[in-house]
Structure 1
Amino acid sequence: MSTFNVPTRDQVNETNQGIFDNLKGALGFVPNIYATYALSNNALSNYLTFANAPTSLKTKEKEVVNLAVSEVNACKYCLSAHTAIGKMNGFSDEQILGLRAGNAPFDSKLDALAKLAKNITENRGRAEDAIVENFLNEGWSNENLIDTIVLVGEKTISNYVHNTTQVPIDFPVAQALETTVA
């Protein structure tokens, strides 16, 4: 059950109404997590600016991070949304489950990225040296490292928003990750 009601367009300020209109035009709907940000007069705009800022990571690479971080943070909303987005970016169901577990055995470079994102999240930013070294040895740059850390922070914000508010999930609900997937 939701702790918070998802605000409608007429319940948010004028700036957020404009953002709702843009989201509806681009996505066909306003995701509940974004509507929840609009409970604040500034958080939705601030978050979208942060989330859509330029990065050295490609869209598919960002989904690797989003899935690993959301699994560690046990955010069902973000896992559901990014499972759908991951599929749109070419990942199979099996690959998505692996990425959520912090593994990508199908691609060594993405595997290093998934392991790093999981490790950073689990250790609250204190990534293990061997994980960082493997990441860099797989061809990632220091810029990619910093951008990955920033993305972990960005995704953690949404994870925390949902984990606190428990607004309804408006994507197909992602299946639970089996403990045997590692």
Structure 2
Amino acid sequence: MSRLSTPSPEDTPEASEPILDSISAQLGFVPNMFATLASNPTVLDVVMTLQGTLSRVLDAKTRHTIALAVSQANDCDYCLAMHTYVSSELGGMSRDDIDLARAGSSIDPKRAAVARFAQQVVASRGQVSDADLAAVRGAGYSDPQILAIVTVAVQVLLTNFINNVNQTDIDIPAVSPAGTPG
């Protein structure tokens, strides 16, 4: 059961309503995380603005790979379910690639390097080694792209932390530890 309060539709702050409407139009429903964030319109706006802005920094499959790798590293069940759903239903990723991303890899060698690097960023709290940087550079990523990878990883950390604190009720198909539908 979620530990933070979620406003009822009639108690949702007016400033949150257009953002929730946009989320509903995009996904067909308002996920519990966003319904909870709606209690603080500024926080909801920050999360949505950050996600929207970062949708321009790397291709979608790379962003999904980072989200899955980071969410797995943080044991965020809600984010794993959400990112699995979005990656498969909207992002065109196969079940195998989703499972590999969670494990810090990918069917694509370049995205595999991103997944490993993102998990290392999380595990080391950003204190990555020269070898970690060399590996992601060796996969073909420039320093500006590495900045984008770190920024996407931190954005995912933000939502992981929110959902782990809240223990957000999963309202999308859950995934098992092995990455198969729960």
So what's the TM-score if we normalise by structure 1? 0.91
- Distance in 1 (CA, whole Å) between partners of 2:73 and 2:128 is 14
Q: Is the 8 A contact 2:20 2:38 kept in 1?
A: no
- Distance in 1 (CA, whole Å) between partners of 2:120 and 2:13 is 38
Question: CA offset at residue 41 of structure 1?
Answer: 2.9
How many residues align? The count is 177
Which residue number in structure 2 is paired with residue 112 of structure 1?
Answer: 113
Task: Provide the secondary structure at the position in 2 that maps to 1:102.
Answer: coil
- Distance in 1 (CA, whole Å) between partners of 2:144 and 2:27 is 30
Task: Provide the secondary structure at the position in 2 that maps to 1:96.
Answer: helix
Change (3 A) 1:72 1:35: same
- Distance in 2 (CA, whole Å) between partners of 1:76 and 1:31 is 14
How many percent of aligned residue pairs carry the same amino acid?
Answer: 30
- Distance in 2 (CA, whole Å) between partners of 1:86 and 1:18 is 25
Cα deviation, 1:38-78, whole Å, max 9, x if unaligned, reads 12131001110011104331111100100000001110000
Unpaired segments ≥5 residues, structure 2: none
Are 2:136 and 1:95 equivalent residues in the alignment?
A: no
Task: Provide the secondary structure at the position in 2 that maps to 1:90.
Answer: coil
Question: CA offset at residue 146 of structure 1?
Answer: 0.3
Cα deviation, 1:76-127, whole Å, max 9, x if unaligned, reads 00000111122132322222111111112x2210111011001001111112
Q: Is the 8 A contact 1:116 1:135 kept in 2?
A: yes
Which residue number in structure 1 is paired with residue 49 of structure 2?
Answer: 49
- Distance in 1 (CA, whole Å) between partners of 2:118 and 2:178 is 17
Question: CA offset at residue 10 of structure 1?
Answer: 1.8
Question: CA offset at residue 5 of structure 1?
Answer: 3.6
Q: Is the 8 A contact 1:37 1:44 kept in 2?
A: yes
RMSD: 1.5
Q: Structure 1: which 4+ aligned runs deviate by more than 3 Å? A: none
Unpaired segments ≥5 residues, structure 1: none
Task: Provide the secondary structure at the position in 2 that maps to 1:116.
Answer: helix
Q: Is the 8 A contact 1:12 1:41 kept in 2?
A: no
